[in-house]
Amino acid sequence: MKRIVTKFALCSLFIAYFTFSAVAQSGQPLSLTEAIQKGLAQNFDIQIEKQNIAIAHNNNDWGQAGKFPSIFLNATQGNNYNNVIVNPAAFQEGSTVNNSLLPAIVAEWVLFDGFAINITKQRLANIEAQSEGNARIVIENTVQNIIRAYYIAVLSNELISILKQAVDLSRDTYEYVLFKKSIGNAVTGDVLLEKSNYLTDSSAYINQQLIYRNAIRDLNVLLGETDMSKTYQLSDKLTFNDLDYNLQDLETKMFASNANLQTLQLTQEILKNDVGLRQGDKAPRIALNLNANYNVINQDLSNARFFGGATRQSGIARNYGAFANITFTLPVFNGGQLRRAIQNAQILEQNGTTRIESLKNDLRRDLANNHDLYNLRKQQVKIAIENKSAAQTNLRLAEEKFRTGSINAFDYRILQQNYLNIAFGEQQAIFNFIDANTILLRLTGGILAERK
């Protein structure tokens, strides 16, 4: 019975291994650059921001600012029934019916309003630029998330390879102990120990495959893919590029190119426009008004009786009119509302300046923190690489000692686990280093330029 269970477990492991191999080798090749390009084209958040830019672009027009006249075509159709039964003062009795149609053209053109039209147009241009800045923030965050998700998937795949090495090693050890037992140089306890080690490593190997598949799904979401079963052959690997950054140079780039800072500065320009608009409310407003109308009235007098027995025929009356005038409006007093509106706009502008300085200070702190983190992780990668090299040599020597009987199975297993943890640590250290570098690129506004 135990042999049947063992064979079943081993068969399951082989099936899981070959299943993963088939999945890992399927799918189209995908580099990090290609992943970013796909995300820029398909990511849903980026598509929403593109639509917001389109709206702001449509609004950035002189017509929206009020430069051109407003022209309306009106038409009024009226019906009037009047029945005079007894009225000594009336010159007619009986009923009359009037039907009228009054079309008119009305136009208004603001000639001067304290330069509000020009300020409004400038404000609309700033709003469009602000919308583009908001889109850039979303794009940079999305690109950072794509880079992170891509390398998480790469890391997950690398850990599978390391665990595969561990499974192969524990399987070889298990088979070796089985052979020793067959010739009388090992006991059942040794076999069970190595079998347990083999199954434990195999379980970790299978679990890591699930982690990898979930990482690919997370990447698909960021790329805007709706097919969660889509897989890739990730061509970029975890590589360590030893780069040195000068903090002062990074700060100069950050203040010149940081997306959040630039967008907040555009918001400040909009606040300045608002101050100009409120100040313009004190200026006179001069507008040209035009009106032209044509009135057609159909009169039914067939049931009317006029004074002295006179008669009137039904008919159609027509008249037209037109006028043009210029209106001049100058606010004199409205309870101090204009003054308070100007003061409030100026306070908001001052608040905007304070927010910019506050953001700059936060960015200085974030840059310094992440610059230190980058340098720390760079040193950790160097240590991890040396540590892995030493652990690899130590494991190779331990294997020879185990086969010659110089060390027991427990000590050999400890060395195997030590190598496994160190190999994991090396890959994780490189991933952390890449992640810290990506954060620096985003803070300094270079994450998009780096990928062009």
128-156 per-position pLDDT tens digit: 999 999 999 999 999 999 999 999 999 99
Given a cut of 70, the residues of the chain with pLDDT beneath it are 1-26, 81-96, 300-315, 450-452
How many angstroms separate the CA atoms of 180 and 184, rounded?
Answer: 6
Quick one: pLDDT at residue 318?
A: 77
Q: Are residues 275 and 336 in the same domain?
A: yes
CATH number at residue 165: 1.20.1600.10
Q: Are residues 156 and 145 in the same domain?
A: yes
Quick one: pLDDT at residue 149?
A: 97
Question: Which residue, 329, 359, 382, sits at the end of a domain?
Answer: 329
Beta-bridge partner residues of 50: none
How many angstroms separate the CA atoms of 397 and 420, rounded?
Answer: 15
Q: Distances in Å between the alpha carbon of 39 and those of 45, 139, 141, 152, 311?
A: 10, 9, 12, 16, 85
Quick one: pLDDT at residue 303?
A: 67
Token pair listed for 135: 């889109």
292-332 per-position pLDDT tens digit: 887 877 776 666 666 555 556 566 777 888 888 999 988 88
Quick one: pLDDT at residue 189?
A: 84
Q: Are residues 352 and 325 in the same domain?
A: no
Quick one: pLDDT at residue 2?
A: 44
How many angstroms separate the CA atoms of 351 and 190, rounded?
Answer: 74
Cα-based torsion angle of the residue sequence 430, 435, 441, 442 in order, rounded to the nearest 10 degrees: 170
Helices (DSSP H) in 183-258: which residue ranges?
188-222, 247-257
Question: Which residue, 302, 329, 356, sits at the end of a domain?
Answer: 329
Domain count, the chain: 2
Q: Are residues 90 and 52 in the same domain?
A: no
119-134 per-position pLDDT tens digit: 999 999 999 999 999 9
Quick one: pLDDT at residue 79?
A: 78
pTM for this entry: 0.84
Q: Are residues 98 and 245 in the same domain?
A: no
Q: Are residues 138 and 85 in the same domain?
A: no
Q: Are residues 369 and 443 in the same domain?
A: yes
Q: Are residues 146 and 218 in the same domain?
A: yes
Q: Are residues 296 and 383 in the same domain?
A: no
Quick one: pLDDT at residue 4?
A: 42
DSSP string, 393-417: HHHHHHHHHHHHTSS-HHHHHHHHH
Question: Which residue, 329, 359, 388, sits at the end of a domain?
Answer: 329
Q: Are residues 357 and 216 in the same domain?
A: yes
Quick one: pLDDT at residue 187?
A: 82
Quick one: pLDDT at residue 399?
A: 86
Q: Which domain holds residue 189?
A: 2-60+113-284+330-451
Token pair 């149609």: residue = 101
Q: Are residues 323 and 432 in the same domain?
A: no
How many angstroms separate the CA atoms of 68 and 91, rounded?
Answer: 51
Q: Are residues 117 and 193 in the same domain?
A: yes
Quick one: pLDDT at residue 113?
A: 86
Beta-bridge partner residues of 315: 299
